[in-house]
A and B are shown apart, each in its own frame.
Chain A
Amino acid sequence: MAELSYREAMAKALREGLVEDERMFIIGEDIGPYGGPYAVTAGFLDEFGPKRIVESPIAESAMVGIGTGSAMAGLRPVVEIMTINFSLLALDQIVNHAAKIRYMSGGQFTVPLIVRTVTGGGAGLAATHSQNLEGWYASVPGLKVVIPATPHDALGLFRSVRKETDPIMFIEHILLYSTRGEVKDDYYEIPIGKADVKREGKDFSIIAYSRMVNVSIAAADALSKEGIGVEVVDLRSLRPWDRDTVIQSVRKTGRALVVEEVWQTGGFGGEIASAIQHEAFDDLDGPVARLGGLDVPTPYSMSLERLVAPTEATVIEAIRKELAR
């Protein structure tokens, strides 16, 4: 066991891919001499050279196009989009093209493309740089969406992802890069679409993903001191998502809270909540609750930004409220 940061785990995952697979290259903005905006690819240019570490003009659509086309032609591109907000400039290439080509060509062309990008707020970057758009992508048939919350999951999921032949959105969180966690030394993979019970509990299930997993675990730890056992299920993938693990947890606890950072209106958690109430209705001891980000563009000022996303305190409050019904 080694303790790695999320950043180090991603660097390890990418390095492995580049070493093992000559077809893999990374293209992105400032991933070369700059070392990557989040320093994930620091040193990669020296190690792998400019053929494999491709510095792109600031042109997200053209960049994803390089990924899509080269994937169709047999390469294994990893396209790094600096933040998920910028992926909107490549929405056409991701949604209209990468996601559709296998289907529209009757299976003749495939797009083994990985788009790595960074979601989330909380870094004082204001409304255009603080969005959580992964749920949008998760609504598109033809895409897969993977969203690890820990260094261990980031490495294990990336190992699975690069063996896929479908376009995948690999979503990292801006505030997770410096978080640390145990990573197994022995080789392991984590399958796409498999949730993980990060913390067991008998009284209440929280379903979360990305940074909200950590927030939920902190809330669960606090509630356990009062004798309330909260189970935290980390989805890890949004498309496909693991119904079985979620339903199983809710059947056990009889209560569910879906926590996510994105605006609650239209958030992917609505899909989860709907499935729970439909498939575990008879086992529920109360309504399925949701806690998402406030329905506001993320403000700049810290005094306001800290109110936007769920926190340990608001998660605890939400659970207390449900238990008090």
Chain B
Amino acid sequence: MSTKTIKKPTSLDDTTLIDFYRQMALLRVFEERCAEQYMLGKIRGFVHLYIGQEAVAVGAISVLQKDDYVTTHYRDHGHALARGLTPNSVMAELFGKSTGCSKGMGGSMHLFDAPSNFAGGYAIVAGHLPLTNGLAFAFKYNNDKRLVATFFGDGALNEGEAHEVMNMAALWKLPVIFVCENNQYGMGIPLEDSMANPKLTEMAKAYGMPSAKVDGMNVLAVRDATEAAVKHVRAGNGPYFLEFSTYRFRGHSMADPVLYRTKEEEGKYRKLDPILTFGEWLISNKKATQDQLDKINLAIEYIVEESVKFADESPFPKIDDLYKNIYAETT
């Protein structure tokens, strides 16, 4: 873990800061309700909760343009919500409903939303990295100043595709921000037991790619680091690698009993909770009052409750939809 939650002075206005809190709290409450709905059998398959990592998605996505692309891994609910997908459309997708952001065809691990340039959650570890380069290649081909931010876990760096992709991105100066969410474990394997060199930014250096290792529990640090990366990449200087040290408070998926780490370790990270620490910072720096935050939390409970209701009441895809969208002629 890099630093304690140091909060340096910020030039951001109070509204923006409070919105960071609101977004992170939304992600948290949304995931808690997902866990509950999974246990109730409303959500099928694998569900990978983003709890603990909220500062990364919220801070990083906040500095992207609306027309940049975002791609991510299967722990993707947080990125989708931070990108502006509605809780209704994401929850409905998890319920497998036709009102879901992927029309019920993708589920938890495959959220898509073309209008917000959310080019997908992908469930094969590192599998989205090659096509992320492709999205960026198209921008470069068209002399378009847009970029792609792609999120992946520390475990993805052990896949061969990650090497191919970072080499190619650096070689051709593709506009990609590689956002590594280092939550310390690839499923149940600790980083140091799976990587010969656990200093991830040294990997970026091997490709001649600028990089930064930043506290991923601090939304402002995440935001600032990503802003620097955006500036570099948008200027046509090629890709940038960000490592955000973070921690998932829950198991790898809902199916994970978390037998591979200690309660002490979990307790240590709980103290760094990105939402609690940021809330405390907002209050102690007089950016917000406890009353304001309470109201936000209450509003979020309502929004998420509504999303569950919306998902529950939405229709399932029709039998005709089974053969739709396999090919152009079946759309």
Expressed in whole angstroms, the minimum distance between the Cβ of A40 and any Cβ of chain B is 22
Chain A residue with the shortest CB-CB distance to B125: A92
Of all chain A residues, the one with the shortest Cβ separation from B98 is A106
Taking residues whose C-beta sits less than 8 angstroms from the other chain, chain B's interface range is 35 or more
> Once the chains bind, are B324 and A107 in contact (CB under 8 Å)?
yes
Which residues of the other chain, A, contact B165 by a CB distance below 8 angstroms?
Answer: 62, 65
In the bound assembly, the distance between CA atoms of A59 and B136 in angstroms comes to: 17
Is B303 interfacial (CB 8 A cutoff)?
A: no
- Which one of B164, B167, B171 has the highest number of Cβ atoms from chain A below 10 Å of its Cβ? B164
Q: Is B130 within 8 A of A65, CB to CB? A: yes
Distance, CA A57 to CA B160, complexed state (A): 14
- A166→B327 contact, CB < 8 A: yes
Residues of B within 8 Å of A66, CB to CB, are 130, 133-134, 137, 168
A38 within 8 A of B: no
Cα distance A96–B123 in the bound complex, in angstroms: 9
Judge if A97 is at the interface, Cβ distance under 8 Å: yes
Give Cα A92 to B105, complex, Å.
20
Task: Specify which chain A residues have a CB less than 8 angstroms from the CB of B135 in the assembled complex.
Answer: 69-70, 72-73
- Which of B102, B134, B138, B139 is within 8 Å of A106, CB to CB? B102
A101 at the interface (CB under 8 A from B): yes
Question: Is B168 a contact partner of A59 (Cβ separation < 8 A)?
Answer: yes
- Say if the beta carbon of B122 comes within 8 Å of chain A: yes
B325 touching A72, Cβ below 8 Å? no
Cα separation A165 to B325 with both chains bound (whole Å): 11
A244 to chain B, nearest CB (A): 17
Question: CA of A106 to CA of B105 in the docked complex: distance in angstroms?
Answer: 6
- Residues of chain B lying within 8 A (CB to CB) of residue A62: 130, 133, 161, 164-165, 167-168
Q: Is the CB of B112 within 8 A of A75?
A: no
- Nearest to A60 among chain B residues (CB) is B164
Q: Mark B108-132, 1 if CB is under 8 A from A, else 0.
A: 0010111000011010100111111
List B contacts of A57 (CB < 8 A).
Answer: 164, 167-168, 171
Q: Is A304 an interface residue (CB 8 A)?
A: no
In the complex, which residue of chain A has the Cβ closest to the Cβ of B317? A106
Name the one of A70, A97, A102 contacting B327, with C-beta atoms under 8 angstroms: A102
Q: Tell me the smallest distance from the CB of B141 to a CB of chain A, in Å.
A: 6
Q: Does B331 sit at the interface, judged by CB under 8 A?
A: yes
Residues B119 and A72 in contact, CB atoms below 8 Å apart:
yes
Q: Does B28 contact A (CB under 8 A)?
A: no
- By a CB distance below 8 angstroms, the chain B residues around A144 are 327
B91-111, CB under 8 A of A: which get 1 and which 0? 000000000111111100010
Taking beta carbons and an 8 Å cutoff, which residues of A are in contact with B?
25, 51, 56-57, 59, 61-62, 64-75, 77, 92-93, 96-97, 101-110, 141-142, 144, 164-166
Given A61-B160, A97-B122, A105-B110, 12 further pairs, Cβ under 8 A:
A65-B132, A70-B134, A70-B135, A73-B134, A93-B130, A96-B124, A104-B105, A106-B104, A108-B112, A108-B114, A109-B112, A144-B327
